Structure 1
Amino acid sequence: MLTLGIDLGAQANETYGCAIDWSGGACRVAALHPKLDDERLVKLVTDDAFAAIGVDVPFGWPVAFVELLTARGSAQSWSVDAARLRLRDTDRHCKRLTGKDPLSVSSDRIAAPAMRWRLLATRVASASARLHEVYPGSALAVWSLEHKAYKNADQRDARIRILSALRAKLSLCVVDADAECLATCADALDALVASLIARAVALGRVHPIPPDLEAAAACEGWIQIPTCNVAELRC
């Protein structure tokens, strides 16, 4: 099995991919894909070789926010609770399960990558059944790994600790050049974690969508959160 993780940024230089090969009971970083522009991203995501693909970007916007925009300034539309405009049901669900707060796609900087992803939607439609929204920070929290302070340039040591823990728990094989990239670049590390979450999805080891949230999830997107510990991804 091959899985793919994408850490999607607003621009190519912020977008990384990570393919993991699970064949023969192994766990090996098969390739890192740095600085993915739209053409390379579409080609990679639509490759049938990948059983599951985790993409770190919101797949939709809060229903209340969309309704507000399409109401064209109706006075009634402004009476909605502001929290419903900021957060999706999956964001609140993620908070309950993991303690992590996903960024608001309607009011935070994640909006730009989300718009890029939506503009690519028709071009990656052939892979839609294999595409899954993920949030690396929530998975790291579930796996009891560092998840609060590893993104900044001066937090390289935290990224090294995360990578070392994953290598130990999964017997993850990473060549030296890729290990250096993962230690240097938080986007690359998030792509690796996204690929691990894709593996959890492929194994059916993620939280199901509660029945009462299925309608919202179809419109807003749904963050896949593992139910297993990280070592069980090799099973």
Structure 2
Amino acid sequence: MRTLGVDLAAATRKTAAAVIDWTGGAAQLVHLSLDVTDEEIVDLFGSTDMTGIDCPVGWPDAFLPFLAGHLKFDAHPVLDHDGIEGRRLLAYRDTDRFITGKTGLIPLSVSADRLAHPAMRCAVIQAKIARDHGPQPRDGSGRLAEVYPAASLKLWGIHSRGYKGRGAPESERLRLILDNLETAAPWLDLAGHRDDLAASDDMFDAVIASLTARAVSLGQTLQPTTDHGAAALSEGWIHVPSGRLADLTEQPGQPGSPGSPD
């Protein structure tokens, strides 16, 4: 199995991709790149089994009727979201609220924060994948899943605060987090890319996205409940780990793994 992780930004220069090859209980980083284009992402998607993308794949269900009502001077769907609580429904998806409840982390809003531009690019990339490889369900039940590296690290027990940025404190924190990852996952071969990862939080996040994609493929992530199912199909669903980092080395069919009779 090969998993692709993408840390998606609005601009290619801040977009990173990482491919991990999983063989015989071990994993090797076989591709790592920065300044990644849409076409490269689509090509890598086609040559891997599961992709984790660090970017919202959809918008809140309430957002489109709100905009349509505003455009058409239809007051009803606009007034439905009067006040701060109404606006929260426009800003955050079901999955965002679910993640906050499970991890304490608050995902950035796709409709009211810095994620808006990357999300627009992500929508275009999803359309290109659909054109070349078939449409992918937004709930992650296909070969593309939305992931959240900070939440993955937290649930795997790796402290990961304050590593975003280019300053000396951020770089030192990123090196420490990378040390902790290597200690927790001795089966992960970074294949000479350690210095690159220590120097780029974007490439590091792409690796965590690829690890999370493996968790998705093994059924080791928190799934939408029946209460969230319909929204997950339209808004998207953030997949975060439900098991240990060490569990990623399981092979499908092993005792205790998805698909196993035990």
Deviation at 1:122, TM superposition (A): 2.2
Q: Decide whether the 8 Å contact of 1:56 with 1:135 is kept in 2.
A: yes
* 2:191 corresponds to 1:199: no
Q: How many angstroms apart in 2 are the aligned matches of 1:148 and 1:162?
A: 9
Amino acid at match of 2:66: L
Q: How many angstroms apart in 1 are the aligned matches of 2:40 and 2:219?
A: 29
Larger displacement relative to structure 2 (151-160 or 73-82):
73-82
Name the structure with the higher helix share: 1
Q: Decide whether the 8 Å contact of 1:27 with 1:170 is kept in 2.
A: no
For the residue of structure 2 that corresponds to 1:181, the secondary structure is: helix
Number of residue pairs matched by the alignment: 232
Amino acid at match of 2:198: A
Q: How many angstroms apart in 1 are the aligned matches of 2:49 and 2:38?
A: 21
Superposed CA deviations along residues 195-225 of structure 1, whole A, max 9, x for unmatched, are 0100101111111111011111111000001
Q: Decide whether the 8 Å contact of 2:30 with 2:191 is kept in 1.
A: no
What is the aligned counterpart of 1:175 among 152, 172, 191?
191
Max Rg structure:
2
Which residue of the partner structure matches residue 30 of structure 1?
30
What is the aligned counterpart of 2:163 among 150, 156, 162?
150
Unaligned runs of 5+ in 2: 137-141, 251-262
Amino acid at match of 2:11: Q
Q: Decide whether the 8 Å contact of 1:2 with 1:22 is kept in 2.
A: yes
Q: How many angstroms apart in 1 are the aligned matches of 2:10 and 2:152?
A: 22
Deviation at 1:13, TM superposition (A): 0.4
For the residue of structure 2 that corresponds to 1:212, the secondary structure is: coil
* 2:68 corresponds to 1:70: yes
| TM-score normalised by length of structure 2 | 0.85
Unaligned runs of 5+ in 1: none
Which residue of the partner structure matches residue 50 of structure 2?
52
| TM-score normalised by length of structure 1 | 0.95
Superposed CA deviations along residues 100-159 of structure 1, whole A, max 9, x for unmatched, are 111000011111011001122221022622000001111111112123211111211111
Which residue of the partner structure matches residue 220 of structure 1?
235
Larger displacement relative to structure 2 (77-86 or 3-12):
77-86
Deviation at 1:33, TM superposition (A): 2.0
Structure 2 counterparts to residues 63-212 of structure 1, below 5 A: 63-71=61-69, 72=71, 73-79=73-79, 80=81, 81-125=86-130, 126=133, 128=136, 129-154=142-167, 155-171=170-186, 172-176=188-192, 178-212=193-227
In angstroms, what is the RMSD of aligned CA positions? 1.2
For the residue of structure 2 that corresponds to 1:211, the secondary structure is: coil
Identity %: 38
Q: Decide whether the 8 Å contact of 2:28 with 2:191 is kept in 1.
A: no
For the residue of structure 2 that corresponds to 1:140, the secondary structure is: helix
Deviation at 1:169, TM superposition (A): 1.5
For the residue of structure 1 that corresponds to 2:206, the secondary structure is: helix
